[in-house]
Amino acid sequence: MNIRKNIIVFGPPGSGKGTFASQIRNVFNKIIHISTGDIFRENVKKKTKLGLKAKEYMEKGELVPDVIVNAMIRKVLSSKDAKQNGFILDGYPRNLDQSKILDDITDINLFLLLEIPRDILKKRILGRFICNNCNEIYNIYLKKPIKEKKENEWICDNCGALIKFKQRRDDTVKTLENRLFIYDRNAIPIIDYYTEKGIVKRIDATNTLAFSEEEIKKIINS
């Protein structure tokens, strides 16, 4: 199925933005999923110029400076695919200035606000690990891969690669507190901004993995 919609998936770190965005993409398969965090992590891994610049901020749980993020997002959103098929932005905007830059580049039709209690959120973040090969997201408390090889080693359900439990470098208790603090400070003006545009939809994200295809279609289309 195809739609052409420009969507923001917004919520605190650990609210399941990436998982939810992937679910939308599974239903509307041409839509592009753009995760600024994933793009940065990929660049850090490959030691690119962008990755080297972003790394120090990411490890402290701070935001990468706007000049760097905005240049990157302009480039990604100028692609033919993004223009033709629509996109889901996950991790951008992170402050009001980024929202305004976004309005300069394109139109946003839907702002999905993921809401989740803080205790569940902390468990999600501190237990999270990803497959280094395909970026599939798992959780040591909530969603382990099906096939266990030995203690703390599994076969990725999605791509079959071997994965070990290893936290993201920015998923520690200290950086988590910092990331939540930054989120709380920036979220209200962003949510107000899109509420004024009349495009905010609130989603109970306590259990995002449980959304059916029908529910996803209803959220996106109604």
- Which residues lie near ligand AMP (CB under 6 A)? 13, 36-37, 40, 57-58, 61-64, 69, 91-92, 94, 98, 170, 179
Question: Is 17 noted as a catalytic residue in this protein?
Answer: yes
State the minimum distance, in angstroms, from the CB of residue 46 to ligand AMP: 15
Between 56 and 148, CB nearer to ligand AMP: 56
- DSSP annotation of 208 reads G
For tokens 């965090």, name the residue.
37
- Residue nearer to ligand AMP on the CB measure, 86 or 91: 91
Smallest separation (angstroms) from ligand AMP to the CB of 172: 12
Give the whole-angstrom CA distance, residue 91 versus residue 179. Answer: 12
Nearest to 91 by CA among 171, 37, 21: 37
Whether the Cβ atoms of residue 36 and residue 44 lie closer than 8 Å to each other? no
Instruction: List the catalytic residue out of 25, 53, 144, 168.
Output: 168
Pick the closer one to ligand AMP by CB: 13 or 86: 13
179 is catalytic: yes
Q: Is 94 a catalytic residue?
A: yes
| Residue partners of 59: CB distance under 8 A and separation at least 6 | 169, 170, 175
φ, ψ for residue 151, nearest 5 deg: -55, 125
| Residue with Cβ nearer ligand AMP (33 or 217) | 33
Pairing state between β 5-10 and 86-90: parallel
202 is catalytic: no
CB 158 within 8 A of CB 171: no
The DSSP H or E segment spanning 138 is strand 137-139
- C-alpha separations of 124 from 138, 162, 204 in Å: 9, 22, 15
Min separation Cβ 21 and ligand AMP, Å: 11
What are φ and ψ of residue 5, in 5° steps?
-135, 145
Residue closer to ligand AMP by CB (options 64, 163) is: 64
* Minimum distance, C-beta of residue 95 to ligand AMP, in the bound complex (Å): 7
Q: CA 219 from chain center: how many Å?
A: 18
Residue 19 CB, nearest distance to ligand AMP (Å)?
Answer: 12
Q: Which residues are catalytic?
A: 17, 94, 128, 168, 179
